[in-house]
Amino acid sequence: MIKKKIFVISITALLFMGVIFSVSGYHEYINRWEGDEHGGCAHDGPAAIPSVTGTLVLTVNETGDLAPYQLFTLEIDVFNFTEAIPDPYYRRFQTGIPGLIGDNDKFSVSPGGKLFDRRERVDAVYGSYDTDKVFELMAPGEAGTYELWGLALTGFNHTSTNFFANVTNDMEMNITYVQDSVTITVVAPAAPPGIPGYMLPVMVVTVAIVGAVLIIKRKRQL
């Protein structure tokens, strides 16, 4: 009976932890992003509205091309995202790397890393956020040129800073966003140099002569 109770308590605890992790994870990423056509976030009215003045600066903190599966960091700085300043957004926004846009699905997040940071706050005057927001990623496994997109948006799963006091209904708030991309070039390691064509017959003849000399020498010793 005691073992059964322990088993039941353990299962309940695991389920409870799973719910917590699921809720936390839900807020940390957007598994699809469609820009103006984005939906499914329990909002009425326009699905998403592009920012009028906002811009992103995406900086890859590596010099030159990347190797397949190379780890690198992407810094996302937000400027003039003034739509996030007034109520009901309270300067809150989230920034990161959305899924299913450009070539984003070709990149992987490093173990223990994440693709989004939520509830950040833009500057109250300029609507900017440039405090070295860095995401660690892994380059695609195949050589090629890829477009990696960054995103900042406000009004996504949004509540006021007062939490449950004077909360604006999410469905009455517009999703406003700014996005941009950076080009990532992945180059496979160069193959080791081969044997020049004119050298191959020379090597074959040399090996044959050396082999013949060794055979004759061995017969003489016998």
Q: Is 192 part of any domain?
A: no
Domain that holds residue 88: 31-186
Number of domains in the chain: 1
Residue ranges with strand state E in 61-205 = 71-79, 92-96, 108-109, 116-121, 129-138, 144-154, 176-186
The DSSP letter of residue 155 is: S
pLDDT of 127: 93
Q: Is residue 182 part of a domain?
A: yes
Strands (E) in 102-222, as ranges, are: 108-109, 116-121, 129-138, 144-154, 176-186
pLDDT in tens, 86-109: 877 888 898 999 888 889 999 998
CA 136 to chain centre: 7
- What tokens were used for 167? 């909360």
Please report the pLDDT score of residue 122 as a whole number. 92
In a domain, 218, yes or no: no
78 assigned to some structural domain = yes
Contact 42, 158 (CB under 8 A): no
CATH number, domain containing residue 54: 2.60.40.10
Asked if 179 and 205 count as a contact pair (C-beta separation under 8 A), the reply is no
- What's the pLDDT tens digit per position in 192-221? 655 555 555 656 666 667 666 666 666 666
Residue 168 near residue 88, CB atoms below 8 Å: yes
